[in-house]
Amino acid sequence: MHANFTYAKCRREYGKQCKFSNWGPKMLENLTPQPRLEDQWIPESPCNRSTLIAVDMSLHDINTVRAEYAEHGVYHVEGGWPKDVNMDDPEQVVRFRKKAEKDDSYMQAVLQMSNLTEHFINQNNSIDIYEPYFIDPDCQQMHTIAPSFRTVAVMSDTFSPTRPVQHLSWSPDQGSLVAISYANMEFQMADPLSSPDSLVFDLEDSTTPFITIESQHPIVTLEFNNRDSQCLAGGLVSGQVAYWDIRKGSASVGISNVKSSHRDPVRSLHWINSKTSTEFYTGSSDGQVMWWDTRKLTEPTEVLFLDLSKSENTDDPEWVKWARSHGVTCLDYDPAIPIRFMIGTETGQVFNGNRKGKTVFEKISATYNCHVGPVYSAQRNPTFLKNFLTVGDWQVRLWSEDVKDSPIMWSKRHEMRLTDGAWSETKPSVFYTTRADGCLDAWDVLQKQKDSILTIKVSDEGLNCIRCHEGGALLAVGDDCGKTYVIEMNDWFVTPGKNDKALLTAMFDRETRREKIIEAKLRELKLKTKSAPKDTITVKDKQVQLAEAEARIIEEAEREFFELSTVKQYDDKADAVTEDEHDDGEEEVSFEDHIEL
């Protein structure tokens, strides 16, 4: 662009007028050479000189002081509800709304507000701020192919000396708060000067704690309420349970009585999906599972004693019953099946429980011999509730409720002890495990069954616990030095494929059918062994016959399995999968890898 400007100036300020004319060259000075001055010239040897006009400066790097932020929020409470209606209970809210909508004054108020509401609706519809830009199939293929991760935040224990992280909990409704419980569980190794308090961090500002959870004893497990992100329940080292409300401060609102609580530290805690949203249950290594209500924490509402011995003598002393009980190491609860729960024990067994039962044997409907040592984690698949994951000793195992004697899939034995495991909340074929050497393994059973997809060196110390966020992308991992690492996984571990559910269904059904065939053959072998005459067969002959029968059973089971798999390889959902997608999404597992006799 060009701009035109106008200048105003007097003629007298320009000076005299210039007059030009043609004029030839004129010599002003002539310098001739003087040869006698050459003798006075003194030659010098060549030399190099450097000059610097600029100012000398140096460069160095420093870390600036970390800015500390403090948030002072205002709690907004929804008003206008009657006292007898709990706005956190959706059923009561729906009933009250239906009653209010039948009122004549409600219809008049809606008609008066409709004009103003219609104006804002039309204004918002003029620009679609929620328009999806990546619904085209070509755009969906632009996801990152290679699995990757990045560390989002590191939350350190603010107390000294630092304490190991024992449990992690995310706030509900995809919140950004992380509740971290710290406790030293080694026998007589806890420092008496260490603080018993736990911390709650906000992911948006992970440098300072959001709030400190004060306690009389170290907190082993700390859980957010599933419906109220301001309420927490925790199990203490002393065996007591406590209840906190962040709106009322850092101190506990209620705590259980010592006589009515557990005798050992509370190892696991889960909130129950109830109408009041005030019930939870706990498990401890003393062999008890207790149900609690936050409205009355002085004593439990129900107690389950894990003594599964079928002893006819009911007058046994109490110490004998305590010796026969199974100590609880972990619990699992899925809100989709509110009456069912799972218990992992110190003896390596996992109990499938039903709360509606009256006796111990009615409440414990099934028993699975999972590991040699304690079961550190037992969790149902969020999509396939019949299949669950167990972590113990040096191995990860996948189980089906229909098969009790053996797992349907398992990993190789690791060199380091496994400490915890968790399913992904969004992709059903992905789960994560932590190890004692500070590594995190990410698994996908549709891609690999023997090795992990990705191994992350998270910390130099051992990892104790892991918790997945509801969104599926974030993982919270705690170590022995009091540090909690928040890791964000890429879309490879978060977004499921179009045919992942059908492929995983076919895989679980196939492996379950395989284990059932093997169980039936082994059961038939035992019956034949028992019915054989004892006098005519020696011990050596029995061993030879047993080995030959086992080999024959494996061959028959393998043949029957592959005959069934050729007739019905996949269900109707998996038939739509192309051959290329099948090859990329699933690897066949050899039959020998799934048979252990």
Residues whose CB is less than 8 angstroms from the CB of residue 137 and which lie 6 or more positions away in sequence, other chains included: none
> Where does the pLDDT of residue 595 fall: very low under 50, low under 70, confident under 90, or very high at 90 and above?
very low
Select from 204, 200, 224 the least CA-distant residue to 213.
Answer: 200
Answer whether residue 584 shows pLDDT above 60: no
* Average pLDDT over all residues of the chain: 83
pLDDT at 26: 82
> Where does the pLDDT of residue 520 fall: very low under 50, low under 70, confident under 90, or very high at 90 and above?
confident
Model-wide pTM > 0.85:
no
Residue 77 structure tokens:
């409470």
pLDDT at 129: 64
For residues 2 and 16, give the distance between their C-alpha atoms in angstroms, rounded to a whole number: 32
Other CB atoms closer than 10 Å to residue 56's CB: what's the count? 5
DSSP 384: -
How far lies 447's CA from each of 99, 421, 443, 584, in Å?
53, 18, 8, 8
Q: Is the peptide bond between 161 and the residue preceding it cis, with omega within 30 degrees of 0?
A: yes
For the segment 324-340, the average pLDDT, to the nearest whole number, is 91
pLDDT at 587: 41
Where do the H-state alpha helices sit in 499-578?
A: 500-531, 539-567
Answer whether residue 578 shows pLDDT above 60: no
Domains in the chain, start-ordered, CATH in brackets? 149-310+317-495 (2.130.10.10), 503-594 (no CATH)
Weakest-pLDDT range from 69-78, 155-164, 205-214, 399-408: 69-78
pLDDT at 546: 65
CB 280 within 8 A of CB 296: no
> Where does the pLDDT of residue 381 fall: very low under 50, low under 70, confident under 90, or very high at 90 and above?
very high
Answer whether residue 124 shows pLDDT above 70: yes
Other CB atoms closer than 10 Å to residue 182's CB: what's the count? 26
pLDDT at 580: 43
Answer whether residue 596 shows pLDDT above 70: no
More confident residue, 495 or 2: 495
Residue 542 structure tokens:
């029995």
How far lies 50's CA from each of 47, 53, 57, in Å?
10, 10, 17
Answer whether residue 397 shows pLDDT above 50: yes
More confident residue, 270 or 143: 270
For the segment 388-398, the average pLDDT, to the nearest whole number, is 93
Answer whether residue 136 shows pLDDT above 90: no
Quick one: residue 76, left, alpha or beta (phi over 0 = left, psi -120 to 50 = alpha)? beta
Q: Which H/E stretch holds residue 581?
A: helix 579-585
For 47-94, how does the pLDDT look when each residue is reduced to its tens digit (9 = 90+)?
A: 677 777 777 788 877 777 777 777 777 776 777 778 788 877 888 888
Answer whether residue 180 shows pLDDT above 90: yes
Q: At residue 15, what is the residue type?
A: G
Select from 197, 231, 194, 241 the least CA-distant residue to 216.
Answer: 197
CB 465 within 8 A of CB 420: yes
How does strand 474-479 pair with strand 483-489?
Answer: antiparallel
Select from 131, 142, 206, 137 the least CA-distant residue to 490.
Answer: 142
pLDDT at 543: 62
> Where does the pLDDT of residue 439 fall: very low under 50, low under 70, confident under 90, or very high at 90 and above?
very high
Answer whether residue 227 shows pLDDT above 70: yes
Answer whether residue 226 shows pLDDT above 70: yes
More confident residue, 523 or 382: 382
Q: Which residue carries 């074929």 as its tokens?
A: 429
pLDDT at 452: 92
Q: Which residue carries 């996908």 as its tokens?
A: 444
Answer whether residue 586 shows pLDDT above 50: no
Residues whose CB is less than 8 angstroms from the CB of residue 301 and which lie 6 or more positions away in sequence, other chains included: 279, 291, 292, 293
pLDDT at 130: 65
Weakest-pLDDT range from 131-145, 286-300, 567-581: 567-581
CB 148 within 8 A of CB 165: no
CB 178 within 8 A of CB 169: yes
pLDDT at 128: 67
Answer whether residue 27 shows pLDDT above 80: yes
pLDDT at 379: 95
More confident residue, 119 or 421: 421
> Where does the pLDDT of residue 117 fall: very low under 50, low under 70, confident under 90, or very high at 90 and above?
confident
For residues 330 and 420, give the distance between their C-alpha atoms in angstroms, rounded to a whole number: 10
> Where does the pLDDT of residue 290 fall: very low under 50, low under 70, confident under 90, or very high at 90 and above?
very high
For residues 219 and 235, give the distance between their C-alpha atoms in angstroms, rounded to a whole number: 6
Answer whether residue 567 shows pLDDT above 60: no
For the segment 501-508, the average pLDDT, to the nearest whole number, is 92
Answer whether residue 571 shows pLDDT above 80: no
For the segment 573-595, the average pLDDT, to the nearest whole number, is 42
How does strand 418-423 pair with strand 409-410?
Answer: unpaired
For 471-493, how does the pLDDT look when each residue is reduced to its tens digit (9 = 90+)?
A: 889 999 999 999 999 999 998 89
Q: What percent of the chain clears pLDDT 70, i.e. is strictly above it?
A: 84
Q: Which residue carries 């005030």 as its tokens?
A: 278
> Where does the pLDDT of residue 137 fall: very low under 50, low under 70, confident under 90, or very high at 90 and above?
low
Q: Which residues pair with 387 in a beta bridge?
A: 400
For residues 327 and 267, give the distance between their C-alpha atoms in angstroms, rounded to a whole number: 10
For the segment 536-565, the average pLDDT, to the nearest whole number, is 65
pLDDT at 563: 67
Q: Is the peptide bond between 46 and the residue preceding it cis, with omega within 30 degrees of 0?
A: no
More confident residue, 178 or 131: 178
Our CA dihedral for 401, 405, 409, 412, rounded to 10 degrees, sits at 140
pLDDT at 591: 34
